[in-house]
Amino acid sequence: MNNEHRKSWLPPGMVPGATPSAPADAVGVEESWERFRKEAAAVDPRDVSTFTHNTAVVLHNVRAGVAAVLAERPWFEAQREEGLRVDFERVASAEGAAEALEFTAARAAAPAREPGTLPVKIKRARVVLDIFRSSADLLVKAGILAVTDVPSAVENGPRGVARACVRYAALFRENHEKIRGATTVRSALVKEAAALGTELLRAVKPRGVAKGSARTEAERAAAADRDRMAVVVTRRYDYVERVAAWRWGRNCEAIVPRMLTRDTSRGDAVEGEDVDDEEAIEETDEEVATDEDATDEAEARDDDDDGDPEVVDEPVAPAKKTAAKKKSPGR
């Protein structure tokens, strides 16, 4: 057997083929989005509006509210005999919904686009126009062109400059034979003026004209996902707020923040403001001290759970006790 030209010493049937790489599973906030994707798609379009708020504020407010309610689970469990029942799984799901909103908002964010070249072209058009006007004035003084042939300067805005470029290009092209050898303007500059004027007339919109959307179909779909997911978060966190009202009454907002509330005690908050590294570390250090206590409370709650508790869609208030009526003494 001649093995001189064989590339492998393995028989053809035993040569391993290329192993296709399996797609990675979604993790983190993307995994949360996959959990709530169907629920978001089922939202009635009449309930959807453009969500313009800061999703980071929503996420951290929801996390704080959910944690506060779940930490009071022993209190709620103690009220079960009075008829107060809470769906703690539904309470916890609000945090996942807020994470899904954060993912859809990140995907819907406008991508960085290349800087526009329109200002550069407007500037160049003004330079070209100055050359044409100077040349036309000299041709008028030389008696080659009549004053009435030269376009009058009426507008100085971008569209006025564009129209002037087109008119001067047409003037010099139509009088090419007459002005040949009497001007420094060449055919290339005439073509450039016509092209610049045409492009600016197409690109520069007058005031009052609606601007077309520059977003792609994928960007519009991502924005729609964000807006529908905002409805899901609002509905789920509304349940958390109602549960909190049973626990703390009117003062519940001091413990469970509203979904869109900002804490301005550290200064005025700016929409979309980034937190630098030092501030992020400071915030994390403040939370580390309570991590062990929260873990102990969670373990204690798990130990106290006996079987599957009965849950309902809405928090059920305990039945009011009515005092027995006193019998009036007989006469």
Tokens matching residue 45 = 């379009």
pLDDT above 70 for 219: yes
Instruction: Fill in the amino acid letter for 152.
Output: S
- Per-residue pLDDT, averaged over 103-130, amounts to 85
- Per-residue pLDDT, averaged over 157-184, amounts to 90
pLDDT digits (tens, 9 = 90+) for 245-274: 989 998 899 999 999 988 655 454 444 555
pLDDT band at 80 (very low <50, low <70, confident <90, very high): confident
pLDDT above 90 covers a percentage of the chain that reads 47
Q: Which of 295, 232, 218 has the alpha carbon at shortest distance from 97? A: 232
Alpha-carbon distance of 241 to 234, in angstroms, equals: 10
Provide CB contacts within 8 A for 318, sequence distance 6+.
79, 82, 83, 84
Helix (H, G, I), strand (E, B) or coil at 299: helix
| pLDDT at res. 122 | 92
What's the mean pLDDT when you consider all of the chain? 78
Alpha-carbon distance of 269 to 328, in angstroms, equals: 65
| pLDDT at res. 117 | 83
Which one is predicted more confidently, 218 or 231?
A: 231
Which one is predicted more confidently, 317 or 125?
A: 125
pLDDT digits (tens, 9 = 90+) for 266-309: 454 444 555 454 544 454 454 444 444 444 444 444 444 444 44
| pLDDT at res. 64 | 95
Q: Which of 73, 61, 70, 76 has the alpha carbon at shortest distance from 91? A: 70
- Per-residue pLDDT, averaged over 207-222, amounts to 75
| pLDDT at res. 165 | 93
